Amino acid sequence: MSFATLAEYGRDYCVIDTHNLFVGTTLEDEILLLGAGDDLFSVIAQECSRFGLQLEPGRKLPSYSGGEQSIICCLLLMHLLPKEKLCVLLVHVLETLSPRNRSLLLDRFAALLPAASLSVLTENGPKPLADHV
């Protein structure tokens, strides 16, 4: 994640930036660092299967494609973020996905974080996604 992007928009948005999606090297590490329960891996694995993505325990996150990493990160955050009104800024996330997976990811945001407003980062700043499909 560009520190400039985070500095500029981090107060108003939960920033999800493809340039820096994870802190840990495996999903298990990420879940541990975020203080989530051990069962979250299986929940995320089940969610990922909707996208045709099979998670492997212990697999290094950088070994997944950029789009796969974006999906994993977004699904992880969807299950950890509060289910209240919040603003999420997607930075180059949707561009990494096929049209099918983009639509599916936006559907999952709508289902799991219905009160969240999604925006994408453009050259002119954040632009709200009027419809999550």
Per-residue model confidence as pLDDT tens digits over 24-62: 999 999 999 988 887 999 999 999 999 999 999 999 999
Rounded to whole angstroms, how far apart are CA atoms 111 and 47?
12
- 112 token code pair: 């799991």
Average pLDDT, the chain: 91
Q: How far is CA 23 from CA 29, 31, 103, in A?
A: 8, 10, 26
The answer for 35, left when phi > 0, alpha when psi is -120 to 50, beta otherwise, is: left
Rounded to whole angstroms, how far apart are CA atoms 102 and 67?
10
pLDDT of residue 103: 96
pTM: predicted TM-score of the whole model, two decimal places:
0.90
pLDDT of residue 20: 85
Look at residue 13 and give its three-state secondary structure.
Answer: coil
Q: What residue has token string 């990922």?
A: 48
Whether the CB-CB separation of 88 and 113 falls below 8 Å is answered with yes
Domains of the chain by residue range: 3-128
CATH 3.40.50.300 fits 3-128, yes or no: yes
Rounded to whole angstroms, how far apart are CA atoms 32 and 28?
6
